[in-house]
Structure 1
Amino acid sequence: MDNRAGEMQVLVEVADRGSFSAAGRALRLSPSAVSKIAARIEARLGVRLLLRSTRALVLTAEGEAYVARARAILAEIEEAERQVAGGAAAEPRGRLRVSASVAFGEHYLVPLVPQFLARHPRVSLDLSLTDSVIDLLGERTDLAIRIGPLRDSSLKARRLSESRRMIVAAPAYLDRHGVPATPDDLDRHNCLRFNFRRSLDDWPFRDPVTGAAFTRPVGGNFEGNSGTTLRRLALEGLGLARIGAFHIRADIEAGTLVPVLEDYNAGDIEQMSAVYVGHAHLDARIRAFVDFLAERIRG
């Protein structure tokens, strides 16, 4: 009998636990049985999936790809059985792995976690905050919150909200260096920039009279990879920062950051989207979380 799903589960356990013996203990199989199953998969595929040494097992590139697809297939099997057993209205349950940027997580997700878990008590939420764009399959993540344009067409996406960008500085910095009246004044200012896209060395603007869009090169003595970092340094009075309005709104209301050059604001919008690997039957816990965010974060 063909039991490829069972074999996939064995290889996933080997990848997760790093050895045949540890995978065998989890599956109640002998290490030799686990080794034979891994060898059988490799023989059938005609490729090496695991590199064996006396100290560890490491996945090859083909092994990484196989395990990533195996996880998705096993998740679909599990969800299909849940739907059949519990119907379309099956209660969301199980571990939900979510990734989000630090700023979005701190300002939006973390305050909402208690409400979501109270609504869905059988879900266990695993939240990681990082400003790196992760591979959902490779990192075994169910869902990620992405800000800005989406580039991976293999992922499904649902728009949650949007936010414009603005240039801000601390009052103490503006007292020392003056308030820029036009983009040309930025030559005399320290501009805090992002380091992950060189195009961000040019800031976009729009002429308040003609409406024409243009960009202006800026420079400064600091670059960072997150809006949270630039916000903190702007609050310290280090310079001007151009970051998303969604996570400096409270600072502006408190007067600890002041918008500048608003007449020249380009009006560019960043979309906030929930992205996930698309399946014919989306797991109930993922659907519940996306619906919850769309309900609470809209606008």
Structure 2
Amino acid sequence: MARLDVNRSGEMEMFVRVVELGGFSAAARASHMTPSAVSKLMTRLENRLGSRLINRSTRQLQLTPEGCAYYERGTRILADLEDAERSAGVGERAVGRVRINTSAAYFNHILSSALPEFLAAYPDVTLDIVQTDMVIDLLAERTDVAIRAGPMKSSNLVARKLGETALTIVAAPSYLARFSEPRNLAELEHHNRLGPGYTREVNGWPLVKNGQTIILPATRQVQVSDGEGLRQLALAGVGIARLASFTVKNDIEAGRLVPILADFSVSEKEAFYAVYVGQGGPLPSRVRALLDFLADKGKVS
């Protein structure tokens, strides 16, 4: 059992402060302490852990691998501690920052229009939103909730389904006027098929040919890092794209994009999930509030 006279949370908080402020002097000023007192506190922490956390030099502090690991875990522990104390004092009112990782397509077409209602309902919650189609490590990126599309692999993540959407092959009228609309897969092979610049579960377009599913690869003339970028390229007439239906619905209705080759498209749907790290304990109220809101207002169809 840990000794009760060791203020482990205080040592951890000071270590995190030293790292984030870039040195003992800055951390000392923020804590109303002397630099020597902060240095002694860090030395005591390292001695207790039996591991060096910081390589000291006259110009800068450099974290050791053990220091990096302790910092990542420490920030999460301190955030959970802060949330626990706030919850105990405000009756489980949602308070604090929620870091969200989402694709640009989901943000632009669903999340951005829903957020005003969430922020009005939870004025004490702040949101930090990162847009990317790349799959991230939630722990490493200090992310509370990530929005992901496609099949979920087995992991320590918990997922709440936000719905599913069909995938539609589209092109701009300007592109079709220049190159004519492909009527079959043989004609499609001669067109510029836009694709993402990242690895997906299936790298290509699943299409039906003679009753069999084939994977037609993108031509790779242009690659972008997210689906919303592919949509913009399609709108500009650069090529043909295969996109989530909810992202191109308004474009099709307005005539900015034209759906093509519907008879050859595999009738699959892509599922969307809100995922978070699940460790068996209760979620912070700020995260639970967002997840409940997304399950109601963040639906994909």
Segment of structure 1 superposing worse, 122-131 or 240-249:
122-131
Change (3 A) 1:141 1:215: closer
The superposition leaves residues 110-159 of structure 1 with CA deviations (integer Å, 9 ceiling, x where unpaired) of 21221111111111222232333333333333222222233471222211
Counterparts of 1:128 and 1:184, CA distance in 2: 40
Given that 1:201 and 1:219 are in contact with CA atoms closer than 8 Å, whether structure 2 keeps it comes out as no
Change (3 A) 1:152 1:54: farther
Q: In the alignment, which residue of structure 1 is the partner of 2:74? A: 70
Change (3 A) 1:175 1:61: same
Counterparts of 1:155 and 1:57, CA distance in 2: 34
Segment of structure 1 superposing worse, 125-134 or 188-197:
125-134
RMSD: 2.2
The superposition leaves residues 190-248 of structure 1 with CA deviations (integer Å, 9 ceiling, x where unpaired) of 111112127755321134x73x3222234241111111111111111111111222211
> What pairs up with 1:118-267 in 2 under 5 angstroms?
118-151=120-153, 153-197=155-199, 201-207=203-209, 210=211, 212-267=212-267
Change (3 A) 1:245 1:55: farther
Change (3 A) 1:231 1:64: same
Q: What code does the residue aligned with 2:190 have?
A: R
Change (3 A) 1:25 1:159: farther
Q: Secondary structure at the match of 2:207?
A: strand
Segment of structure 1 superposing worse, 116-125 or 53-62:
53-62
Q: Secondary structure at the match of 2:52?
A: coil
Counterparts of 2:152 and 2:38, CA distance in 1: 40
Given that 2:86 and 2:95 are in contact with CA atoms closer than 8 Å, whether structure 1 keeps it comes out as no
- 5+ long unaligned stretches in structure 2: none
Q: What code does the residue aligned with 1:80 have?
A: A
Identity %: 46
Change (3 A) 1:17 1:265: same
The superposition leaves residues 31-60 of structure 1 with CA deviations (integer Å, 9 ceiling, x where unpaired) of 222222222232233333223232322322
Counterparts of 2:14 and 2:239, CA distance in 1: 54
Q: What code does the residue aligned with 2:31 have?
A: L
Change (3 A) 1:265 1:43: same
Segment of structure 1 superposing worse, 213-222 or 259-268:
213-222
Given that 1:155 and 1:278 are in contact with CA atoms closer than 8 Å, whether structure 2 keeps it comes out as yes
Change (3 A) 1:18 1:191: same
Counterparts of 2:75 and 2:31, CA distance in 1: 16
Q: In the alignment, which residue of structure 1 is the partner of 2:284? A: 283
Runs of 4+ in 1 over 4 A off after TM superposition: 198-201
Q: Paired residues, what number?
A: 295
1:297 Cα shift?
2.1
Given that 1:189 and 1:220 are in contact with CA atoms closer than 8 Å, whether structure 2 keeps it comes out as no
Q: Does 1:111 find its partner at 2:113?
A: yes
Q: In the alignment, which residue of structure 2 is the partner of 1:294? A: 295
> What pairs up with 1:41-60 in 2 under 5 angstroms?
41-60=45-64
Q: Does 1:10 find its partner at 2:10?
A: no
1:67 Cα shift?
1.3
